[in-house]
Structure 1
């Protein structure tokens, strides 16, 4: 690392650029192909949407999409750097009939489109490096504030307030009945296993510890928290799980108040139906909740809701672009595990892909207008969407149940609905996700400066002159008499 104000020589890169060892190393490497040789392996895995069996259900009347945004700002640069993280998530309700009616004359009626949507936004702030509550460490301060943010982030659309903590307890219980307590795999302080905690918190049962524990400790976000550096990854993990729990808040709200309505809705998340990082074990809780929901709906003779995750970026979206021309419009491609391992993730053919994170399976869908969507859809009535590959005596792969279309009876209705709600505002986009992103996004530039200034003022720190110059308070307007 250089000293302050030390600058590199203008020709300091020459030795690296001319090094034979470096050139030889890079010549050994391979990258994903941008061309498809024999497309047979693609054509063997696609089918037309019309060939799929669809469960009996009413036509969807509404869509609810969820997206989130986060930013970590430096309230004080230099050392010790003081950082604060902001999270904003949004759920956007779209009335499908009003949305489709907004384009009845060849032009979109913006007023009709506005009437077709309702937005709910939840935001919170979390401490970062060198920010702490009085008397406790930065790591424990993050735990306490993370728990507080979930307890205070709530919706009231179904009458009684329902928080993200309530949603967390619900996936540990069953539809309409949150668990009274949950079990932490370990105490965050002493590491003692199997600690029970209620929604309001508790203490470690080990007499030598007796430290405070929180229900949100089950997500284990504190494991990636650093007390002296950036926490962008920790913030992203928190945002992603908050998005998924906001979705549960709405699904469970409909189930408690009017379960019949669930059959008429499509619920869309930004990103795959998966949980990554230390919180990945929550995947099994989402799977359990979904299985119980499908069973409960079936017992009432209702179809389950449509649930889908849509990816905007990543290796699967990149791969979809590469093979795009080999998939006809209106066709869907099953991404079986041997295919994923060989052509997308560069793993051994028998690698057990997706076992730890996913509660839905990925598909590539070529829409009626030629756009490509990478979607994740759960099995119905439940079950793991990925299974360990099976190989017969001749060494060929055997198709496992999770790779058969019959276990995804909601797939056709889901893709047909997404087809109706496409937008050319962005490549491969659908309107509900675009609206949710617009409602949740925290802008860079001036927006980031305002958030930095807010953190500096709230923490009593010198205010950044750049942030002050960008932040112009709104002028007072005189209302006409």
Structure 2
């Protein structure tokens, strides 16, 4: 690393560029193919949407899409740098009938489209490096404020307030009945296992520890927190969990108040139905909640809601763009595990893909207008969407239950609904997700400067000259 203000020589790169060892190393490497030769491995996995069974349910009348945004800003650059993280998530309700009616004349009626949507936004702030509560370490300050943000982030759409903490307790309980307590895999301080906490928290049972515990410790975000550096990844993990739990807040709200409405809705998340990082064990809790919900609704003779995750970017979205010309419009592609291992993730054929993170299975769908959607859909009435690859006595792969279309009876009507709500504003986009992203996004440029100034003023730090001298931060009760 250079000294402060030390500059590299203008020709310092020449030795690296001319090194034969570097050239030889890169010649050994391979990258994903940008062209497909024989498309047989694609076409044999395609199915026309019309050939899929359609489960018995009313056509969806509303969609609720969820998206989030986050930014970490430097309130004080240099050393020791002071950072603050902002999170904003949104749920957008779209009345599908009003939405479709907004285009009745050939031109979109902006007022009609506006009346077709309702937006709910939840935002919070989390401490970053060198920010802490009085007498508390940086990591434990993050734990405390993360728990506070979940407790204070709530919706009131179904009468009584329902927080993200309530949603967290709900996936540890059952639909309509949050758990009274949950078990932490370990104490964040001493590592002791099987610690019980309620929604209001608890204390480590180890006499020599007695650490204050929070229900959000079950998400283990503190494990990636850095006390003296960037925490963008930790912030993204927190945002993703907030998105997923806001989704649970609405699904469970409908279940408690009017369960039959669930069968008329499609719930859309930005990104796959999966949980990554230290919080990945929560995948099983989302899966258990979904299974219990499907069973409970089936007992009432009600179809389960439509649930789908849509990926706008990433490895699978890139792969879909490479192969899309080999997929006819109106066709869906089952991404079985051997295919994923060979053509997408470059793993060994028998690698057990998706076992730790996913509660839905990925598909690629070519819409009626030729757009490509990478979607994740859960099994109904439940079950793990990915299973370990199996081979027969001849060594050939056997189709497992999770790779049969019959395990996804909501797939056809889900894709038909998404087909109706496409938009040409962005490539491969659907309106509800675009609206949710618009409502949740924290802009760069001036928006980032405002958030930086807010952090500087709130922390009583020297303020940058950002041309926002008249900005006054809001007052919170």
User: Which of the five TM-score ranges fits, normalised by the shorter chain?
Assistant: over 0.9
1:312 aligns with 2:312: yes
1:449 aligns with 2:449: yes
Q: Structure 2 CA distance, aligned partners of 1:312 and 1:16?
A: 36
Match for residue 159 of structure 2? Answer: 159
C-alpha contact 2:450 2:471 (8 A) present in aligned 1: no
Match for residue 422 of structure 1? Answer: 422
Deviation at 1:159, TM superposition (A): 0.2
Match for residue 263 of structure 1? Answer: 263
C-alpha contact 2:384 2:402 (8 A) present in aligned 1: yes
Deviation at 1:472, TM superposition (A): 5.1
Q: Structure 1 CA distance, aligned partners of 2:456 and 2:202?
A: 33
Q: Structure 2 CA distance, aligned partners of 1:193 and 1:13?
A: 51
Matched position secondary structure for 1:186: coil
Matched position secondary structure for 2:357: coil
For 1:266-281, list aligned pairs within 5 A.
266-281=266-281
Deviation at 1:407, TM superposition (A): 0.5
Match for residue 244 of structure 1? Answer: 244
Q: Structure 2 CA distance, aligned partners of 1:250 and 1:47?
A: 33
Match for residue 92 of structure 1? Answer: 92
Give CA-to-partner distance per residue, 1:313-334, whole Å, 9 cap, x none. Answer: 0010000000000000000000
Give CA-to-partner distance per residue, 1:423-443, whole Å, 9 cap, x none. Answer: 000000000000000000000
For 1:24-173, list aligned pairs within 5 A.
24-173=24-173
Matched position secondary structure for 1:329: coil
Matched position secondary structure for 2:194: strand
1:374 aligns with 2:380: no
> Unpaired segments of 5 or more residues in structure 2?
473-477
Match for residue 477 of structure 1? Answer: none
Match for residue 19 of structure 2? Answer: 19
C-alpha contact 1:90 1:121 (8 A) present in aligned 2: yes
> Unpaired segments of 5 or more residues in structure 1?
475-481
- Detail structure 1 runs of 4+ shifted over 4 Å in the superposition: 470-474
Deviation at 1:250, TM superposition (A): 0.0
TM-score by length of 1: 0.98
Matched position secondary structure for 2:185: strand
Deviation at 1:470, TM superposition (A): 4.6
1:346 aligns with 2:346: yes
Matched position secondary structure for 1:54: coil
Q: Structure 1 CA distance, aligned partners of 2:192 and 2:315?
A: 38
Matched position secondary structure for 1:209: coil
Count how many residue pairs are aligned between Structure 1 and Structure 2: 472
Q: Structure 2 CA distance, aligned partners of 1:29 and 1:407?
A: 39
Q: Structure 1 CA distance, aligned partners of 2:392 and 2:432?
A: 44
Deviation at 1:473, TM superposition (A): 4.2
Match for residue 475 of structure 2? Answer: none
Q: Structure 2 CA distance, aligned partners of 1:245 and 1:418?
A: 22
Match for residue 364 of structure 1? Answer: 364
1:290 aligns with 2:290: yes
Matched position secondary structure for 1:193: coil
Deviation at 1:255, TM superposition (A): 0.1
1:302 aligns with 2:302: yes
**C-alpha RMSD over aligned residues:** 0.7
Q: Structure 1 CA distance, aligned partners of 2:100 and 2:426?
A: 19
C-alpha contact 1:446 1:471 (8 A) present in aligned 2: no
Q: Structure 1 CA distance, aligned partners of 2:334 and 2:470?
A: 52
Deviation at 1:54, TM superposition (A): 1.2
